């Protein structure tokens, strides 16, 4: 029985073959979520195309971009997104140690004040209603500049769309990070105290 709310369908056709080849090359497997989204291939193709465009943005430090995306995914509860971004951090040569700590960033001592402000902003943007304050925005704008601030906001918005869709469809982590030998992501207990 599928763990997703819509059972995955067979990925077929030329584009489907390329998708499976690319997925196996990058992740070692075809994500179950790809089969779910294959019920309407245009949605999957367009989402992936926009995701590639988001990945090409370059006004924000790549580590900050990764931490922001992961913090937003964590706030929404998308285990697939958290695991995927941790895996991508490894593949892109970013700071794996810090990425591992994002789920418990408030309790962790590894982050700089700027990194903490970025993750706080990501979480505030991911709340309903949005909880971003003028002070929060002003501090980030002063440190990052307008282009990076716009990129940060757009990246978090994109992650909100992706993560909320994945959670609604029941798409969960497939442990990509474990497949490349990364230690598990740090965990936070329900009361915010770091898990042992």
Between 195 and 172, the more confident residue is 172
Lowest mean pLDDT among 3-7, 13-17, 86-90: 86-90
Can you tell me whether residue 61 is helix, strand or coil?
coil
As a three-state string, the secondary structure of 30-42 is CCHHHHHHCCCHH
Query: Percent of the chain, pLDDT > 90?
Result: 82
Other beta carbons within 10 angstroms of residue 83's beta carbon come to 23
DSSP annotation of 77:
T
| Mean pLDDT, residues 172-186 taken together | 84
pLDDT at residue 179 in the model: 73
- Give 180's pLDDT tier (boundaries 50, 70, 90): confident
Question: Given a cut of 60, is residue 192 above it in pLDDT?
Answer: no
Question: Given a cut of 70, is residue 194 above it in pLDDT?
Answer: no
pLDDT at residue 1 in the model: 42
pLDDT at residue 187 in the model: 83
Return the bridge partners of 188, or none.
194
Rounded Cα gap, residues 12 and 77, in angstroms: 30
Between 151 and 186, the more confident residue is 151
Other beta carbons within 10 angstroms of residue 76's beta carbon come to 21
- Give 196's pLDDT tier (boundaries 50, 70, 90): very low
58 contacts 64 by C-beta, under 8 angstroms: no
Rounded Cα gap, residues 30 and 27, in angstroms: 7
User: Which residues, 6+ apart, have CB-to-CB distance to 128 below 8 Å?
Assistant: none
pLDDT at residue 195 in the model: 42
Integer angstrom CA distances of residue 179 from 29, 86, 182 = 10, 12, 8
pTM score: 0.90
pLDDT at residue 2 in the model: 54
């Amino acid at each position: 029985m599928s763990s997703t709310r819509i059972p995955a369908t067979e990925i077929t056709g030329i584009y489907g073959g390329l998708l499976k080849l690319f997925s196996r090359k990058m992740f070692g497997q075809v994500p179950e979520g790809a089969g779910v989204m294959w019920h309407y291939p245009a949605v999957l193709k367009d989402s992936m195309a926009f995701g590639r465009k988001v990945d090409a943005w370059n006004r924000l430090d790549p580590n900050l971009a990764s931490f922001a995306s992961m913090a937003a995914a964590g706030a929404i509860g998308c285990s697939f997104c958290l695991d995927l971004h941790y895996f991508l951090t490894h593949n892109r040569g970013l700071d794996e140690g810090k990425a591992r700590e994002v789920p418990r960033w408030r309790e962790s001592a590894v982050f700089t004040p700027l990194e903490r402000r970025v993750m706080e902003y990501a979480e505030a943007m991911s709340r309903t209603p949005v909880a971003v304050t003028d002070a929060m925005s002003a501090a980030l704008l002063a440190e990052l500049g307008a282009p990076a601030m716009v990129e940060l906001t757009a990246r978090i918005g994109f992650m909100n769309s992706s993560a909320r869709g994945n959670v609604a469809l029941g798409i969960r982590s497939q442990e990509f990070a474990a497949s490349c030998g990364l230690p598990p992501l740090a965990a936070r207990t329900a009361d915010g105290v770091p898990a042992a």
